[in-house]
Amino acid sequence: MSIRTISLRLTPILLLLGSVVVAVADHGTASGKSFTLLQSGVTQEIFGVSSHIMGGIAFAPDGDPLVNDCTTGASELHRYDRQGVAPEVFGTKLHPETILPSNAGCGMANHPDGFIYSNTMFGVVRLNATTGVQSGIPFGPAGNALGIATDPQTGDLVYAARTCTFTGTDCDIITANPVTGVSSTFVTVPGFVEGLSFSPDGSQLYLAKRRPSLAVGVIDRTAPGARSGVLNRNIPLSNEPAGIAYHPSGFLLTANVDGTLTKVVPGTPDVVTPFAEDGGRAELTTLGADGCFYVTQDMWTHYDDDTITTQSSLVRICVGGPPPPPGAIKFPIDIEPLICRNVLNVRGRLGLFVAVIGTRSLEVRKIAPQSIKLESVPAAHALILDVTRRLEEGKRSSDCSVRWPDGIPDILLYFEKEPLVKALGPVKDGEVRVLKLTGNLKEQFGGTPITGEDVVVIINKN
């Protein structure tokens, strides 16, 4: 198999990069008791505990959850080793904890540029996703230190301003560019907003509203790519929400201050049902790369042997059962290497070039090239060739810098357009898609599954 040419297609659409490892050490059957009543088909487990208050959640590059102390600034980060197993406590297998000095607020969000961003009383701060160290100075207006989310369309950080309080009249939701620092008001709504979450395509923003009434606020973006929105409606709730996160199967989960979780399916009509009950006071929630929700509970840990303590806990909740067994190896991949923007023109002639990036610890020569598929589509050609390097720690993909070869072999693959477009199904012009790559190591290296993912923007016009 061979590849004769390398495409250097350029477009003005910003590349979104980034992925995290999701393999997890064995922690039993995920039959935890943090919530004594849970919807059927859902599993739960305590991921980690802390003697501190727990607030916002983000993830290190290897998938380790990072949790802060939910202060207005200068919060430490508690990192829980996804691959490790701590000594068993009250019949419960936990992940080891490491505490990192940082300057987080309460709300945190991962960004495709590789950093974590946190809402603080000084504005938004940029944190190294590995060390927790702040990079640069805060930007944007002062925040309420709570809700923050990455805008899938603009790459901005959208967060609740300092005006969003129990006693405030109007709550400003701010959008701020992490590269330029330029900010503006995305939307203003009455009352107090805590958590924020976008729909995957970025067309709607959802707000966990605690005042003047309990509701999920639905904000429609005014136009594709616009940095503004308008209130569509409020979906009434019976429980007071703090955190909110969107599941790719099409529903929202609110983490509530009374120790319950609520499932909200936006639609006509909106459907609101109890999801979990009899837990501790929830703070914030987010969706992990493993497809599971991560929820923090303040001063409440219900261990597997029914012991209850005043420690705070990070709970992982998986819909449809626990994630696949551990073992898959995450390889970094780069769609259209040697250029810094990714597009798939569904009306054009060319498909996609993809590099599976080798590192000192991840040898691509151990991979069976014929096993590699992108969105279940086999590669038409494959070649071992040093073409690029992994995105440097601390670098932002929006810097648009070319990543030159690093002397370590990669696998360069070509996927033809027609089968790839067919596999993707209906697409819209300008739509952002995460493409997943799968494969296996060669049999002599155990045949272990490999995974990787990167993002493209769809071009679908004449």
Looking at the fold, whether 292 and 378 belong to one and the same domain comes out as: no
On whether residue 14 sits in a domain, the answer given is: no
If asked whether residues 392 and 301 sit together in one domain, one would say: no
Is 21 part of any domain? Answer: no
Q: At 338, which CATH number?
A: 2.60.40
User: In which domain, by residue range, is 379 found?
Assistant: 329-459
For residue 32, what pLDDT is reported? 76
pLDDT digits (tens, 9 = 90+) for 344-378: 888 888 889 999 998 877 888 889 899 999 998 99
| Confidence (pTM) | 0.67
Comparing CA positions, the residue from 301, 297, 312 lying closest to residue 51 is: 312
Last residue of a domain, one of 319, 345, 361: 319
In a domain, 30, yes or no: no
Return the minimum-mean-pLDDT range out of 95-109, 193-207, 277-291, 337-351. 337-351
C-alpha torsion angle, residues 388, 390, 392, 393 (rounded to 10): 180
Cα distance between residue 155 and residue 147, in whole Å: 16
Domain count, the chain: 2
Residue 121 lies in a domain: yes
Q: Are residue 337 and residue 310 in the same domain, yes or no?
A: no
AA identity, residue 246: Y
Contact partners, residue 426, CB within 8 Å, separation at least 6: none
End-to-end CA distance of the chain: 32
Identify the pLDDT of residue 8. 32
- Same domain? For 160 and 41 the reply is yes
| Same domain flag for 114 and 255 | yes
Does residue 373 sit in the same domain as residue 294? no
CATH of the domain at 174: 2.130.10.10
Chain mean position to CA 175: 18
166: left (phi over 0), alpha (psi -120 to 50) or beta: alpha
Is residue 391 left, alpha or beta, with left meaning phi > 0 and alpha meaning psi from -120 to 50? beta
Lowest mean pLDDT among 19-23, 169-173, 330-334, 345-349: 19-23
pLDDT of residue 321: 55
Q: What percent of the chain has pLDDT over 90?
A: 62
Q: What does the angle CA 200 – CA 341 – CA 355 come to, to the nearest 5 degrees?
A: 95
* AA identity, residue 405: P
> Taking 70 as the threshold, does the pLDDT of residue 24 lie above it?
no
448 is a domain residue: yes
Burial per residue of 386-403, b for 16 or more beta-carbon CB atoms within 10 angstroms, e otherwise: bbbbbbeeeebbbeeeeb
Q: Is residue 27 in a domain? A: no
For residue 88, being part of any structural domain is answered with yes
161 with 295, same domain?
A: yes
